[in-house]
């Protein structure tokens, strides 16, 4: 019998990373431990690509009874900030994962990393190079041509030690010297051509202040941090494949046969109609092209949350696309499908009119109000009902009325009948226009026998409209969001500035929308609502009691699908 109950009985249905983990556990590697980590650099907000990594790192630990560390990869004080640390914590929790007390920082390991660097210098495996980064880059060679050795490569151990200590004491300018690993300038793997281990940075660090003047490069920090933390499986994205030999090279300086972390790579999440590079997202924020990292058009977790996406929809989408070893471009329609699917199950239905025109029901008593019953969610039998007022004056959508309708227009038109959802059948008897011919009011009569529960309730008409009673309607604003870019793969259009490809219609603001009182009352950021026939909405954080602002999470149907056909 297997002593380790975390081992999956059969590897069927496991993705390739899970299979590797399953086999390692079966073989008793690392004492049968599983410890992963999610290692964000706190230099921006997390995006949905990170969510894919989070679902892998935390998900696999959950599945096999291991642990997952949150490690802030804070090795570059120039770009990093506590604002980002806080947002990263919040976003991971919102997605439904918990790192408990396993919160670590690469900066916690600066002393050990420095010590290792000193040891490598002493063993003749590292040297201080006085050249500029441009000079070093020019000596790198190409994949088919060997690089050139630095003139400083054969410095004595004593001189290297002295210079490295003085680099860290702040004696030298930024960019004037670096510490390099002495490996092989002719290696076919370019990352082995004497990679930089440390550079001088004088900007204070958000955690360690001015203690350090030298900071480790990613390749010198990551594997060792994994080792110091006891990470067994360091799962990352495919661009790190060529870094893996270097990861192993440095880890070997620490590890032995009883414990050695290993790196495994999977394909990145790339989404159509958006960009995923933190640099570009930062640029959109800095240049005011969006309203911040959590702008609901951004692919950031905080943006998607503000927009009304749910953690479950994001996780379901990530499950659906899966993990492979090949780069791909994932369709945003698939994400939107997952969002609609989840919101359909959980959102409270109600009525809101986005572009209102008033309807006066001339045979309904003035001053009278009656309540009609509305189902909260037909997909959820336990969600109950709520009451909605009906009165002589109501609002309907302006484009649900046509004075001269084409054939097959089943909404309201002169002499035509429609059902007001949940209430009566009404018939249009006339309109009032302003001096320019715009319709100001529509006049109708209602058939009092057609309300639910009355004999005429089953009378059939072709169209059913949503509506809101005028005297009690809550005025609000709707922000109608659409895709951020108008080209499918902005990152592929390398000839064009990505900002030129922004969708000019990605945000439309509709003021003076009319919302039924119940919806306004239950609304709060993150509470999912369905404005019937319009789409899914949630309250925005910019809302105030006097000015409710609703974000459209997504339309009921995918309108882009039609356009692309």
Task: State the burial class of residue 524 (Cβ atoms within 10 Å of its Cβ: 0-12, 13-18, 19+).
Answer: exposed
Residue of 46, 125, 159, 140 lying closest to 92 (CA atoms): 46
Check the annotation: does 50 bind a ligand. yes
Q: Given the rule CB under 6 A, which of 40-48, 131-139, 438-446, 534-542 is the region that contacts ligand ATP?
A: 40-48
Task: Closer to ligand ATP by CB, 52 or 392: give it.
Answer: 52
Nearest distance, CB of residue 266 and ligand ATP, angstroms: 7
Residue 268 annotated as binding site: yes
Task: Tell me whether residue 76 or residue 530 sits nearer to ligand ATP (CB atom).
Answer: 76
Please, are residues 514 and 356 in contact by the beta-carbon 8 Å criterion?
A: yes
Cβ within 8 Å of residue 565, ≥6 positions away: none
Q: Which of 26, 79, 102, 268 is an active site residue?
A: 268
Q: How far is the CB of 219 from ligand ATP (least distance, A)?
A: 13
From the list 25, 34, 36, 50, which residue makes contact with ligand ATP (rule: CB under 6 A)?
Answer: 50
Among 17, 22, 24, 40, binds ligand ATP (CB under 6 A): 40
The distance of Cα 495 from the centroid of its chain, to the nearest Å, equals 26
The correct pick among 7, 269, 476, 502 for binding ligand ATP (CB under 6 A) is 269
Q: Does 283 bind ligand ATP (CB under 6 A)?
A: no
Out of 17, 30, 49, 215, the only residue in the binding site for ligand ATP (CB under 6 A) is 49
Strands laid side by side in the 196-200 sheet: 126-129, 178-181, 196-200, 214-216
If residue 197 lies in a helix (H) or strand (E), which one and from where to where? strand 196-200
Q: Is 298 labelled a binding residue?
A: no
Active-site residue flag, 41: yes
Task: Work out whether 308 is an interface residue with ligand ATP (CB under 6 A).
Answer: no
Active-site residue, from 155, 278, 307, 419: 278
Considering CB under 6 A, how many residues would be counted as binding ligand ATP?
A: 15
CB of 49 to ligand ATP, least distance (A): 2
Stretch that binds ligand ATP, among 15-23, 93-101, 271-279, 289-297 (CB under 6 A): 271-279
554 is an interface residue for ligand ATP by CB under 6 A: no
Q: Examine residue 233 and tell whether it contacts ligand ATP (CB under 6 A).
A: no
Rounded distance, CA 224 to CA 542, Å? 44
Note whether 278 binds ligand ATP by CB under 6 A. yes
3-state secondary structure string across 441-456: EEEEEEECCCCCCCHH
239 is a catalytic site residue: no
Question: Rule CB under 6 A: is residue 552 a binding residue for ligand ATP?
Answer: no
CB of 220 closer than 8 Å to CB of 251: no
386 touches ligand ATP (CB under 6 A): no
d(CA 545, CA 522): 12
Residue matched to tokens 């919040």: 90
Least Å from the CB of residue 34 to ligand ATP: 17
Q: Which stretch binds ligand ATP (CB under 6 A): 49-57, 111-119, 148-156, 311-319?
A: 49-57
Size of the chain in residues: 565
Q: Yes or no: say if 68 and 39 are a contact pair by the CB < 8 Å rule.
A: no
Q: Which is nearer to ligand ATP, 277 or 489 (CB)?
A: 277
DSSP string over 30-47: GGG--EEEE---SSS--B
Q: Pick one of 276, 402, 439, 474: the residue that binds ligand ATP (CB under 6 A).
A: 276
Please identify which residue in 41, 90, 253, 488 interacts with ligand ATP, judged by CB under 6 A.
41
Using rule CB under 6 A, residue 281 touches ligand ATP: no
| CB of residue 257 to ligand ATP, shortest distance in Å | 27
Contact flag: residue 81 with ligand ATP (CB under 6 A): no
Q: Which residue, 44 or 422, has its beta carbon nearer to ligand ATP? A: 44
Whether 508 is catalytic is: no
Give burial (CB, 10 Å; 0-12/13-18/19+) of 6.
middle
User: Which is the catalytic residue, given 41, 90, 149, 370?
Assistant: 41
HEC assignment per residue over 345-406: HHCEEECEECCEEEEEECCCCCCCEEEEEEECCCCCCCCCEEEEEEECEEEEEHHHECCCCC
Tokens at 305, concatenated:
């949350």
Q: What is the dihedral of CA 295, 301, 306, 307, to 10 degrees?
A: 80
Distance CA 240, CA 264 (A): 9
What HEC string does 298-349 produce?
CCEHHHHHHHCCCHHHHHHHHHHHCCCCCCCCECHHHHHHHHHHHHHHHCEE
Q: CB nearer to ligand ATP: give 219 or 516.
A: 219
For residue 265, list its beta bridge partners: 236
Question: CB-wise, 43 or 475, nearer to ligand ATP?
Answer: 43
Least Å distance, CB 71 to ligand ATP, is: 10
Q: Which residue is nearest to ligand ATP (CB)?
A: 49
Residue 447, Cβ density class (10 Å: 0-12 exposed, 13-18 middle, ≥19 buried): middle
Phi first, then psi: give them for residue 161, nearest 5 degrees.
-60, -45
Ligand-binding annotation for 478, yes or no, is no
CB of 230 to ligand ATP, least distance (A): 18
CB 28 within 8 A of CB 88: no
Q: How far apart are CA 515 and CA 351, in angstroms?
A: 6
Q: Shortest distance, CB of residue 263 to ligand ATP, whole angstroms? A: 10
**Residue 222 interacts with ligand ATP (CB under 6 A)?**
no
Binding site feature residues: 41-43, 47-53, 73, 218, 237, 268-269, 276-278
Binding site feature residues for ATP: 41-43, 47-53, 237, 268-269, 276-278
Binding site feature residues for L-glutamine: 73, 218
Summarize as ranges the residues that interact with ligand ATP (CB under 6 A): 39-41, 43, 49-50, 52-53, 236-237, 268-269, 276-278
Residues classed as catalytic: 41, 268, 278
């Amino acid at each position: 019998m297997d002593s380790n109950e975390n081992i999956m009985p059969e590897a069927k249905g496991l993705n390739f990373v899970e299979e590797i983990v399953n086999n390692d556990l079966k073989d008793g590697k690392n004492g049968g431990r599983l410890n992963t980590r999610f290692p964000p650099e706190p230099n921006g907000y997390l995006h949905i690509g990170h969510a894919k990594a989070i679902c892998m790192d935390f998900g696999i630990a959950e599945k096999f009874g291991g642990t997952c560390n949150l490690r802030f990869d804070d090795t570059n004080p120039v770009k990093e900030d506590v604002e980002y640390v806080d947002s990263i914590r919040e976003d991971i929790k919102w997605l439904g994962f918990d790192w408990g007390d396993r919160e670590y920082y690469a900066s916690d390991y600066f002393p050990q990393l420095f010590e290792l660097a000193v040891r490598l210098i002493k063993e003749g495996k590292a040297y201080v190079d006085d050249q500029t980064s441009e000079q070093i880059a020019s000596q790198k060679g190409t994949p088919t041509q060997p690089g050139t050795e630095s003139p400083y490569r054969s410095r004595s151990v004593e001189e290297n030690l002295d210079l490295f200590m003085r680099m860290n004491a702040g004696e030298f300018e930024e960019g004037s010297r670096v510490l390099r690993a002495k490996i092989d300038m002719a290696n076919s793997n370019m990352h082995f051509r004497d990679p930089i281990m440390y550079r001088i940075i004088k900007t204070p660090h958000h955690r360690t202040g001015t203690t350090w003047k030298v900071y480790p490069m990613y390749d010198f920090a990551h594997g060792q941090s994994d080792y110091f933390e006891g990470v067994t499986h360091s799962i990352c994205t495919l661009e790190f494949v060529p870094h893996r030999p270097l990861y192993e090279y440095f880890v070997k300086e620490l590890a032995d046969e009883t414990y050695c972390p290993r790196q495994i790579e999977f394909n990145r999440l790339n989404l159509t109609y958006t960009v995923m590079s933190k640099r570009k997202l930062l640029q959109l924020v800095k240049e005011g092209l969006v309203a911040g990292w959590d702008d609901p058009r951004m692919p950031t977790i905080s943006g998607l949350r503000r927009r009304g996406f749910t953690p479950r929809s994001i996780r379901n989408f990530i499950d659906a696309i899966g993990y492979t070893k090949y780069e791909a471009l994932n369709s945003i329609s698939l994400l939107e499908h997952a969002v609609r699917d989840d919101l359909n199950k959980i959102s409270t239905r109600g009525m809101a009119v986005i572009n209102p025109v008033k309807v006066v029901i001339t045979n309904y008593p003035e001053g009278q109000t009656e309540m009609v019953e509305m189902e909260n969610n037909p997909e959820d039998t336990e969600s109950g009902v709520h009451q909605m007022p009906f009165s002589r004056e109501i609002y309907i959508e302006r484009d649900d009325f046509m004075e001269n309708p084409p054939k097959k227009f089943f909404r309201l038109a002169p002499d035509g009948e429609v059902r007001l959802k949940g209430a009566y059948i009404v018939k249009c008897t006339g309109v009032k226009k302003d001096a320019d011919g715009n319709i100001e009011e529509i006049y109708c009569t209602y058939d009092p026998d057609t309300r639910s529960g009355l004999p005429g309730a089953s009378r059939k008409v072709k169209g059913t409209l949503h509506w809101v009673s005028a005297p009690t309607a809550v005025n609000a604003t709707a922000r109608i969001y659409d895709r951020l870019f108008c080209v499918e793969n902005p990152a592929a259009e390398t000839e064009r500035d990505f900002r030129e490809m922004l969708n000019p219609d990605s945000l439309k603001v509709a003021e003076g929308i009319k919302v039924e009182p119940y919806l306004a009352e239950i609304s709060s950021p993150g509470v999912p609502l369905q404005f019937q026939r319009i789409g899914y909405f949630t309250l925005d954080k910019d809302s105030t009691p006097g000015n409710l602002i609703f974000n459209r999470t997504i339309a009921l149907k995918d309108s882009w699908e039609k356009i692309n056909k």
